[in-house]
Amino acid sequence: KSFFEFAVSNEWLDRNPARLVKEKHSRNEAQSKERIPFSDEELARMFEACETKYARTEDDYRYRWGGQDLADFIAVSVYTGLRISDVCAFHIDRLLESGECHIRTTKNGKKVYTWIPSWLQQRIRARAKIHGPFVFGTHTTTDICVITDVWRRKLLRLWKLCGPWPERPSPHRFRHTFARILLQKTNVTVRDVAELLGNTEEIVRKHYAAWVPERQARLTKILKAAFEGKPKPKLVAIHGGRG
């Protein structure tokens, strides 16, 4: 799979045929796998590279999509938490006039929405005027693997331009970043994040809350404030142990 990924990144192949082969993992491995988000600094680095580096060389004229398109793709991914397949097929009908964005439908038919900032709403609507209702382009194929591979290659090219990376970047880390940003807010509950991601609260606690240092720092601050000034025993010197 790694060899074919290398071939795709160098545009020797249009898609990675090994991507369809699911790797076998043990149950313990799946449970312990850490969800690593992008940091704000890493996001800023990507957006900077979209503006100043991506598709800026002489041989990049052949690319249909430029750095601003890729920046929009990343922004939609981060602010909605959608998987790459859903971002590739993002339809303007997902975005309501209120700024709410439909991200999924539950089993009982209930629609779940997130809200995205006005600047991104404007970008999405502007893209729809240029590219049509599918804001990241229409495709002659219906094979979602082929469609996502197009954007995976663009992201790989971008990440090479603004590396190195302490953790291997991947499109799914944008979804983890969506969760990180929410969990860092004091008024957002694990249940809220679980509903937006379509996961259970248990899964969110296990895979997301643990890697948010700011959340633990906030909890520590709350505990310090809560116990400040509370009654405590008279402290005396602790002598050595038993002889």
pLDDT in tens, 162-219: 989 999 999 999 999 999 999 888 778 889 999 999 999 888 888 886 656 666 777 7
Supply the pLDDT for residue 104. Answer: 93
Write down the pLDDT at residue 18: 78
Q: If pLDDT is split at 50, 70 and 90, which confidence band does 230 have?
A: confident
Helical H segments across the chain, by residue range? 2-9, 27-32, 40-52, 67-80, 84-88, 118-131, 144-161, 172-183, 190-197, 201-207, 213-227
Token readout for 85 is: 């397949």
2-9 and 144-161 are packed helices; what angle lies between their axes, rounded to 10 degrees? 70
Cα angle 130, 76, 143 (rounded to 5 degrees) comes to 75
What per-residue confidence (pLDDT) applies to 211?
Answer: 59
Q: How many CA atoms lie within 13 A of 44 on its CB side?
A: 3
Residue 142 pLDDT exceeds 90:
no
Question: Which residues lie below 8 Å from residue 215, measured CB to CB, with a gap of 6+?
Answer: 183, 184, 209
- Average model confidence (pLDDT) across the chain: 85
